Chain A
């Protein structure tokens, strides 16, 4: 099935450990995004990539890093997890020249203890 695949779906992680959330798309969209969603707050942008080889910081980038080695993959890494990073993480791609609708992956629920 075409679309966006995120892994893992859910994970419990000890504080201080590292973790990489994977995101793979097969729609050949240039723009990709990582958001976190917390209760009572809007989606907050962590990092983005307008095209392969480039990345940028969003609203809440601290504690996270990304890479974009190719068009399809956009992994998000937490180098040393903290409890405040407990959240649901969504990867998204975008049609057009960064102005179209977003397509979201199914999300990764991360709990940091």
Chain B
């Protein structure tokens, strides 16, 4: 079966750096997405990786290793507003998105 694994919850300190991991096993691969979802709100797009390597976008970076079935989202200079759930999703060979359950990130002052 297809599976996306990410930690259920993580805690970090304001101003610090946090890395949220995502491992996947899917039928084919057509890209990996990261979304941010604040409590009670809709998910919003953060990043897309289809080739191996690091994609940097401001304070957020996303890394992909296709051979390892692994990605991470790196958040730098954490701010209180970064408290949210972070969703990892993989597009399989049929261009269907398979979603992880999300990682709830708690930022402490």
Task: Contact check, A102 vs B101: say whether CB atoms are below 8 A apart.
Answer: no
- Assess A99 versus B41: contact at CB under 8 Å? Given A42-B4, A42-B100: no
Least CB distance from B51 to A in Å reads 14
Task: Contact check, B45 vs A102: say whether CB atoms are below 8 A apart.
Answer: yes
**Chain A binding surface SS class:** loop
B70 near A: Cβ within 8 Å? no
Least CB distance from A74 to B in Å reads 15
Residues of A within 8 A of B41 (CB): 106-107
Measured CA separation A40–B33 after assembly (Å): 19
Least CB distance from A37 to B in Å reads 9
Count, A-B residue pairs, CB within 8 A = 43
Measured CA separation A105–B41 after assembly (Å): 9
Q: Chain A: interface residue count, which band?
A: 10 to 19
Task: Contact check, B42 vs A43: say whether CB atoms are below 8 A apart.
Answer: no
Measured CA separation A41–B101 after assembly (Å): 5
Measured CA separation A102–B46 after assembly (Å): 11
Residues of A within 8 A of B45 (CB): 101-103
A-B contact pairs, 13 of them (CB 8 A): A40-B101, A41-B101, A42-B4, A42-B99, A42-B101, A42-B102, A43-B87, A45-B96, A90-B42, A101-B48, A102-B43, A102-B45, A104-B43
On A, residues with C-beta under 8 Å from B are 40-45, 90, 98-99, 101-107
